[in-house]
Homo-oligomer: A and B are copies of this chain.
Amino acid sequence: MKLKNPHTLKEIASLINCEFVGDENHSITGLNEIHMVEAGDIVFVDHPKYYDKALHSKATTILINVKVECLAGKGLLISDDPFRDYNKLVRHFYPLTYSLQPKSDTAKVGENTVIMPGVYLGNNVTVGNNCVLHPNVVIYDDCHIGNNVIIHANTVIGADAFYYKKRADKFDKMISSGSVRIEDNVEIGAMCTIDKGVSGETIIGTGTKLDNQVHIGHDTQIGKMCLMAAQVAVAGVVKIGDGVTIWGQAGVRSDVVLGNGAVLLAQSGLGEDIAPGKTYFGSPAGEARGKMKEVAALKMLPDLLAKLRE
């Protein structure tokens, strides 16, 4: 999430009423999560396990719950609850508004695009040329749909990330201020859900095709010309290359990477990276040839056990 105008470290510290370390005029231009940060961004960290990663990330301001040395060219915001204060900043720069019209005043729709009955277009949504949005499609605020995109009925683009911080007696919700970008020539089936990024973009690359009831988590980036069959679920912060195929009802854990041309077979559950061009199968998934040998071996196991008993 980029700020409209740069702010100083001192200004930001006063917004959340916290101490700061560093030049009071140190410039802040955005807020982002650790896996997406760039120079100018604030990142937050509240667990010692991740202090080093945050302090040495590309982020130039760190919202942190301990006083540490400030690296050259960086600024620190010292908070007793960085999660809470990060959310405060997000809400300040990304105020909550709900458009109560089916098509918000700020939504823009391209030429020759068909918007069917019951479609909802939130604030700042853009839809390109030659698209078809079938009935009851819902596009949340700030999402962008390219050209020649088909979205089938009742699909939801841009719902919030499933991201909470556990407290003693409740879960605190991370505010989602990111968006979804659907590139050109994408087709999305009926009843899919594609969540927005927490502070960045969830991306569906050019020419990719999704079948019905596919779920794509927040900040996941899918390359060009991928195919995903019905009821596939991809968690958040997954990186999928170009030309990847995922068959029906397979699932992908957060944070993994699927190389170009990777294939994940039906009903597989992927918890690790797939190298380019490899095919995986099983739950938990492994290289398919090996897994198929396991399937064949398992068929022989009952007889083997019977023989060994003799």
Query: Measuring CB to CB, which residues of chain A are less than 8 angstroms from any residue of chain B?
Result: 98, 100-102, 114, 116-118, 120, 132, 134-136, 138, 140, 150, 152-154, 156, 159-160, 162, 164, 169-171, 173, 185, 187, 189-191, 193, 195, 207, 209, 211-213, 215, 217, 225, 227, 229-231, 233, 235, 248-249, 251, 253, 266-267, 269, 271, 283-284, 286, 290, 293-302, 304-305, 308
Contacts and interface: CB of A to CB of B under 8 A. Distances in A.
Given A212-B215, A298-B301, A207 B251 contact: no
23 contacts: A98-B132, A118-B118, A118-B136, A120-B135, A120-B136, A134-B140, A159-B189, A159-B212, A173-B187, A189-B193, A195-B212, A217-B230, A231-B233, A233-B249, A248-B253, A249-B251, A251-B266, A266-B269, A266-B283, A267-B269, A290-B299, A294-B298, A297-B305
Contacts of A164: 209, 227
Contacts of A230: 162, 193, 215, 217, 233, 235
A217 B189 CA distance: 11
Contacts of A134: 138, 140, 159
B120 A138 contact: no
Contact of A152 (B153, B156, B187, B297): B156
Nearest to A252: B248
A211 B162 contact: yes
A299 B292 CA distance: 11
Given A100-B117, A152-B159, A156-B190, A293 B283 contact: no
Contacts of A294: 298-299, 301-302
A286 to B, nearest CB: 8
Contact of A171 (B118, B138, B209, B233): B209
B162 A229 contact: yes
A251 B248 CA distance: 8
A300 B306 CA distance: 12
Nearest to A308: B304
Contacts of A266: 251, 253, 269, 271, 283
Given A102-B118, A283-B283, A193 B193 contact: no
Given A120-B136, A225-B171, A301-B297, A213 B193 contact: yes
A193 B171 contact: no
Given A100-B114, A159-B189, A297-B305, 9 more contacts: A134-B138, A138-B153, A140-B153, A191-B193, A233-B249, A266-B269, A286-B299, A297-B302, A304-B305
Contacts of A290: 299, 302
